Amino acid sequence: MNWKATLAILACNIIFMSASYTMLIPFLPMYLTQELGVDAASVNLWSGIVFSSTFLVSAIMAPIWGRMADTRGKRLMAIRASILLSISYFLGGIVTTPEQLTLMRMFQGFAAGLWPMDLAIMALYAPPEKLGLCLGIMQGVLTAGGVIGPLLGGVLAEFFGMRLSFFLAAAGLFLNSLIFIFFIKEPPDPAHENIPSQEENTPTKEHPSLLHIPLIRNMLICGTLVQMVILILQPILTTYITELAGNLPNIIFVSGLIFSLGGIAGAIAAPLWGQFGQHHGFFKSMSLALVFAGAAIIIQGIPNDLYAFAAMQFIGGLFFAGIHPSINAVLAENTPAKVKGSIFGLLFSAQQVGSMAGPLLGGVIATFLGMKYVFFTAGMILICLSLAVYHHFIAKPSAGTPKSII
């Protein structure tokens, strides 16, 4: 398949995947209170449990699915993930208790793995000189789905209730499976690859596991911490917006609109970050994106004004958009085709660990210190991570890959 055609088809696939997810996830606290009968005093705790349950299971399963992708086919694993995710969303629309919702999210964690397969497939089809652009576009499309999802989810919840959103998400993921079945071919396995330091980045007797390779291990740590920051904020964001909005009418729609601003910014900026990384180095783009995203989050937690908060949500999205494409590109550039599925499976697993820790940490901080401290904690984590990336990969490039960046 032509790489441009593959990118276009995968972009459609990612839109359905991302919109289906973000149509529901930001509103789970409201789903718990309005549909499942959870009281206001317990909603933060239940939100943390519901958010984290899926990530625990997917963190375990992602490396397994990744290895199976390398041996049995990445396209097959993408079809598997799409069908099982479709079933999970359907089940989410018929649950009646928070315990059942938690079980549904655990099954969703078992089903997960579509995004890393999209990355692995595109990394194999993309020409080396277009890798940053392709991964940036994919990240931009992912965040564009994050714009469509909350807006659509807010409208549906306002007029029809949230259960319809689950059924539409199920239909979207089933459509994804059809796209892979009829339009995507298994990517080729290049016989000869021109990958820098390939011998160092391939498992051998000296390096029996990908986790023993310093560069890979460091990028997994980055992925874990960044995802933890995102999920520290996500469960409390709609609740925080509700507090800032006061008695504003149509609060669910307003929450979805503000939540989407970061996605709008990310959809605009992600391809530009991909091109910047391609020309100036992906470590430099990673470090810059991290420090400015961290600063934006800290500033976002200061104002008590809804409009100032919304503005910083947009600005933060401009910088967050540069983090994941840089991590993905570093891994794609430095690993051979035969382990692409395993690499992105490990990255997804690392991100799920961060996703699991984030809501729990955010819930604890919000409960005992207040929601503003969640923003300050998240911002400082990103700034410290940016300094670590700069110190180990930019300021001392001749030192090689370090054993640890923290």
Average pLDDT value for residue range 250-258: 72
Q: How far apart are CA 116 and CA 113, in angstroms?
A: 6
SS3 of the chain: the string is CCHHHHHHHHHHHHHHHHHHHHCCHHHHHHHHHHCCCCCCCCHHHHHHHHHHHHHHHHHHHHHHHHHHHHHHCHHHHHHHHHHHHHHHHHHHCCCCCHHHHHHHHHHHHHHCCHHHHHHHHHHHHCCHHHHHHHHHHHHHHHHHHHHHHHHHHHHHHHHCCCHHHHHHHHHHHHHHHHHHHHHCCCCCCCCCCCCCCCCCCCCCCCCCCHHHCHHHHHHHHHHHHHHHHHHHHHHHHHHHHHHHHCCCCCHHHHHHHHHHHHHHHHHHHHHHHHHHHHHHCHHHHHHHHHHHHHHHHHHHCCCCCHHHHHHHHHHHHHHHCCHHHHHHHHHHHCCCHHHHHHHHHHHHHHHHHHHHHHHHHHHHHHHHCCHHHHHHHHHHHHHHHHHHHHHHHHCCHHHCCCCCCC
- For residues 299-312, give the mean pLDDT: 85
**Residue corresponding to tokens 């700069």:** 390
Q: In this model, does residue 206 exceed pLDDT 60?
A: no
Which candidate, 83, 257, 259, places its Cα nearest to that of 172? 83
Residue indicated by tokens 């009968």: 37
Per-chain mean pLDDT for the chain: 84
- More reliable by pLDDT, 402 or 173: 173
Sign of torsion over alpha carbons 307, 312, 314, 315: positive
Token digits of residue 273: 């970050």
Q: Is 196 a domain residue?
A: no
Instruction: Establish if 200 belongs to a structural domain.
Output: no
Q: Is residue 229 part of a domain?
A: yes
Residues 365-398: pLDDT tens digits?
887 888 888 899 999 999 999 999 998 888 865 4
Residue 211's pLDDT band (cuts 50, 70, 90): confident
C-alpha span between 343 and 335 (Å, rounded):
8
44-65 pLDDT per residue, tens:
788 878 877 887 888 899 999 9
Amino acid in the structure at residue 186:
E
Q: Which of 242, 227, 235 is nearest to 359 (CA)?
A: 235
Structural domain tally of the chain? 1
Contact 5, 151 (CB under 8 A): no
The reported pLDDT for the residue numbered 190 is: 58
CA angle 34, 38, 41 (to 5 degrees): 115
pLDDT tens column, 226-248? 999 988 876 677 677 777 777 76
Q: Which two tokens stand for residue 197?
A: 């330091």
* Domain residue limits at 172: 3-185+210-399
Segment 308-337 shows an average pLDDT of 90
Closest among 148, 381, 139 to 282, alpha carbons compared: 139
Instruction: For 155-182, write each residue's pLDDT tens digit.
Output: 887 788 788 889 999 999 999 999 999 9
Q: Residue 263: inside a domain, yes or no?
A: yes
Q: Range with the lowest mean pLDDT among 117-121, 149-153, 175-179?
A: 149-153
Question: Does 224 have pLDDT greater than 90?
Answer: yes
Within a domain: 202 = no
**CATH number for the domain that contains residue 247:** 1.20.1250.20
Please compute the mean of the pLDDT values over residues 54-83 and round it to a whole number. 90
The pLDDT assigned to 397 comes to: 56
pLDDT digits (tens, 9 = 90+) for 7-51: 999 999 999 898 888 788 777 888 888 888 888 778 878 887 887
- pLDDT exceeds 50 at position 192: no
Q: Is residue 203, in this structure, part of any structural domain at all?
A: no
Share of the chain above pLDDT 70, in %: 90
Q: Average pLDDT for residues 87-96, to the nearest whole number? A: 94
